[in-house]
A and B are shown apart, each in its own frame.
Chain A
Amino acid sequence: MATKDIVLDHVSIRFGNYTAVDNAHLVIKGGEFFSFLGPSGCGKTTLLRCISGFNDPTEGRVLIGTQDMKGIGPNKRPTALIFQNLALFPLMSVAENIAFPLEVRGVGRKDRRKRADELLDMIALPGVGDKKVHELSGGQRQRVAIARALAVEPDILLLDEPLSALDLKLRHHMRTELRAIQQRVGLTFIYITHDQGEALTMSDRVAVMNKGVIEQVDHPETIYNRPKTSFVASFVGESNAISGKVATQSGKLVEVETPLGRLKGIAAGGRTYKTGDECYMFIRPEQLVLAENHENAITAQWIKEEFEGNARHMFLEAGDVQLRLSKVNSGQSQETPSGGTVPLGFAAEQAMVLPHGELAGA
């Protein structure tokens, strides 16, 4: 159905001196579920509003298909935006909300109602058409907002953190639901979130943003396993970051001089380092193990342990470096340390060496 690509051609958006989006350059393929992931304030909404036509790029172009969108208002674009707060019309009934796009296009009352009922069936909410918006639950409102956006028959659906207001259970449920709706209608979904879980589970591709800059665009697995920057490595998933200086590199294997001793890791993305380059070593908590005489051996001080049901997390300290070790809960009671010094290790294969850069949440 929708095959139009969206092209962001060197798009920058500035508010005065402040650059909210810095030189975004990527192609979103027609029919794709594409997510922008980044901490709050990194310019995601701004970029989305630019695609839907509420603000113009300061530099660069936005193309939908082959058409430059410059000067085309939001009501003329083949996009539909689902706002962060949904922006359902409080004075209208559910059916009137959904039929609003048809109403403004001059579709007759009867046809409007019929289409609204069809869409309500599609989002699995038959028979709520005459209710008022406030009578619905959060998840139902969510789906009504989607139905309303779909009533326009857009080529592209833009979603701005649509799940952030829901509780955890519902959020997980709606992830599956959204993905299912997207596959059913075959539209391009551009999805914005600060929740990496959402981005990773639903998307075909994810763009990770930081301070207006798109740091990496890749498939979710690649983003998680092979982050390209320190920021992506630290923002997506948990990571232990150990800063240091490159000592030697032979092929992919890099030795790094750290406050915890000389440690071995892999140069991410086949990068070459010079001796003395500032770098970070990233080790996922689940890849840190309790072991002695490992190829990368660390001795750390036990601080505390947290039990999270499916996993237990151990918090440790080695010198100034905070470390975190996660173990899947196998159901059997395990001997775990509860104080004193603990010997740790990790495989060089699983440690990524990335150039020094900004860390998420730092």
Chain B
Amino acid sequence: MNRGTGGGFIAIGFSLLFFTFLFGPLIIMVITAFNSSSFPRITPWECFTTDWFGVLFGNDRLMTGLLNSLVIAIGVVAIAVPIGLAGALALSELGPKLRATLYTVLITPILIPGVVLGISTIVFWGALGRSVGADYGTFFYNGMFLTLAGQVTFISAYAMLVFLARLQRFDPLLTEAALDLGATPGQAFRKILLPFLGPAIGSAAFLTFLASFENYNTTVFTILSGNTFTTALASKVRHGTDPSLSALAVIIIGITLIGAIVHEAYARRQAAIRSGTAQRSRIYGNPVLKTLVHPLTVFAILAGAAGFAAWQGSQYDSNACEAQILEEKRAIQQQLLEEQRKRMQEQRQQQTAPTTAPETPGQASPSPFGGAFKPGTLSPGSDAEPSGDAPKSNSPFGGAFKPGALGPSGEPAQETPKNGSGFGSAFKPGSLKPE
């Protein structure tokens, strides 16, 4: 930090805040993926677990969606990149007036909302299908095909922008030089322009792949009754989230990090080679270090590490810990209850002190919960049944703390198997109310 520019604590503090803001959500998400709690959170920390990855891979809908997404994305790359290249080449050959017009036409799909593109794709191909008398089995009504068609319309424009940017840096004299030296126009294109565009083809392929893979707005319409990764994910989130989504985030972040690091290794190597300082540099001049920082080595190491982590994770069994946590929760619960009971007694004493003395709690039963806290023992006029079988219940506390169990009125207890909270509905508002 530069003190002269008012750096110091403020700058450090600001940087910290900034990075927290940027990466905080990601870090929290990653941590939640390994917490056994069935709701994504870090506190209270329950158990380190890798089960959520299993849950993720066990989700058929998501996995089919993923496969569909990959197929579509590869198709989009294969179609959009050549179209984008052709568009960019056409633009770079035209005069300024035609160029502006064509540019507007080609760029429009990016400006149109994806929703509109999605709907119009269905309408267009549907109309086309009807006009040729195609039935519903044909590709006119195939979600995969429609998604491909719909995405290509605007993703090719992305590819075109990438190529245009690169073409602007191309010196057309190079093509002329090639022609002058005897190359045919085809040879000049293949041997001069195409190699120059190489990096742009790579970026365009990457960009179009991502754009296709992560697209939702258009896809949600064009995929019809099918699913892609994004649509499956969206519907899952809508139906309630669990840490398997965090597990997914961990995987995506991992892939991104590996990709970024390998790319960085590649870029640095290229820079060193290009500047001609490779031989002299400490890293690239040393044969061992040189192989170590080669992008392929870096990739192998990172992929190996990720693979090992995944394998280790798949071996990890958190059942013992989870059982223990369950135990601890019970203990805490018991304590809480104890306090609760005391407080209620005091309350009651205040209410009824002048007339009746409080009843003493019943004897503890052999089961931790069992009938120990029979509703009747706490509520004066209650005749509620004993609670259900605690161990079988989804909630760690079973029905022991069924709503109403503590209430004087002794409402019939409800089962709470679907509830993800560790405490079931035990603490529903009102359940502690004395009346």
* B182, A104: Cβ atoms closer than 8 Å: yes
* B180, A79: Cβ atoms closer than 8 Å: yes
Partner pick for B173 among A75, A79, A83, A91, CB 8 A cutoff: A83
Q: Is B196 an interface residue (CB 8 A)?
A: yes
Q: Given that A75-B184, A87-B173 are known contacts, is A103 also in contact with B191, CB under 8 Å in the complex?
A: yes
Q: Is B171 an interface residue (CB 8 A)?
A: yes
Q: How many contacts between A and B, using CB within 8 angstroms? A: 61
Question: In the docked arrangement, what's the CA distance between A173 and B69, Å?
Answer: 64
* B182, A91: Cβ atoms closer than 8 Å: no
Q: Is A105 an interface residue (CB 8 A)?
A: yes
Q: Given that A81-B177, A85-B171, A87-B173 are known contacts, is A105 also in contact with B192, CB under 8 Å in the complex?
A: no
Q: Is A148 an interface residue (CB 8 A)?
A: yes
Chain A positions 220 through 236: 1 when the CB is less than 8 Å from some CB of chain B, otherwise 0: 00000000000000000
* B181, A148: Cβ atoms closer than 8 Å: yes
Q: How many B residues face the partner with a CB closer than 8 A? A: 19
Q: Is A315 an interface residue (CB 8 A)?
A: no
In the bound complex, residues from chain A placing their C-beta under 8 Å from that of B177 are 81, 83, 87, 89
Most buried by A among B171, B180, B196, B274: B180
* A80, B171: Cβ atoms closer than 8 Å: no
Q: Given that A103-B191, A135-B276 are known contacts, is A87 also in contact with B179, CB under 8 Å in the complex?
A: no
* A52, B180: Cβ atoms closer than 8 Å: yes
* B181, A152: Cβ atoms closer than 8 Å: yes
In the bound complex, residues from chain A placing their C-beta under 8 Å from that of B276 are 132, 135
Most buried by B among A53, A81, A132: A81
Q: Given that A75-B183, A135-B276 are known contacts, is A104 also in contact with B178, CB under 8 Å in the complex?
A: yes
* A104, B184: Cβ atoms closer than 8 Å: yes
* A152, B173: Cβ atoms closer than 8 Å: no
Residue of B whose beta carbon sits closest to that of A52: B180
Q: Is B195 an interface residue (CB 8 A)?
A: yes
Q: Is B419 an interface residue (CB 8 A)?
A: no
Q: Is B252 an interface residue (CB 8 A)?
A: no
Residue of A whose beta carbon sits closest to that of B173: A87
Residue of A whose beta carbon sits closest to that of B190: A104
Residue of B whose beta carbon sits closest to that of A131: B276
Residue of B whose beta carbon sits closest to that of A103: B191
Question: In the docked arrangement, what's the CA distance between A148 and B183, Å?
Answer: 13
In the bound complex, residues from chain A placing their C-beta under 8 Å from that of B196 are 91
Q: Is A307 an interface residue (CB 8 A)?
A: no
* B182, A105: Cβ atoms closer than 8 Å: yes
In the bound complex, residues from chain B placing their C-beta under 8 Å from that of A132 are 274, 276
Most buried by B among A74, A101, A149: A74
Chain A positions 160 through 192: 1 when the CB is less than 8 Å from some CB of chain B, otherwise 0: 000000000000000000000000000000000
CB distance from A122 to the nearest CB of B (A): 17
In the bound complex, residues from chain A placing their C-beta under 8 Å from that of B180 are 52-54, 74-75, 79-81
Most buried by A among B183, B274, B276: B183
Q: Is A73 an interface residue (CB 8 A)?
A: yes
Partner pick for A74 among B174, B176, B187, CB 8 A cutoff: B176
In the bound complex, residues from chain A placing their C-beta under 8 Å from that of B191 are 100, 103-104
Question: In the docked arrangement, what's the CA distance between A53 and B179, Å?
Answer: 10
Partner pick for A75 among B174, B182, B195, B274, CB 8 A cutoff: B182
Question: In the docked arrangement, what's the CA distance between A75 and B276, Å?
Answer: 34
Chain B positions 146 through 183: 1 when the CB is less than 8 Å from some CB of chain A, otherwise 0: 00000000000000000000000001011011111111
In the bound complex, residues from chain B placing their C-beta under 8 Å from that of A134 are 274
* A73, B181: Cβ atoms closer than 8 Å: no
Question: In the docked arrangement, what's the CA distance between A101 and B184, Å?
Answer: 11
Question: In the docked arrangement, what's the CA distance between A79 and B180, Å?
Answer: 8
10 nearest CB pairs, A to B: A87-B177, A101-B181, A104-B183, A87-B173, A74-B180, A81-B180, A74-B179, A75-B182, A104-B187, A75-B179
- Name 6 A/B residue pairs within 8 A (Cβ), A-sorted: A53-B180, A74-B176, A75-B182, A89-B178, A104-B187, A149-B181
Q: Given A89-B178, A105-B182, 17 more contacts at CB 8 Å?
A: A52-B180, A54-B180, A75-B179, A75-B184, A79-B180, A80-B181, A85-B171, A87-B173, A91-B196, A101-B181, A101-B183, A103-B191, A104-B184, A104-B191, A132-B276, A149-B181, A152-B181
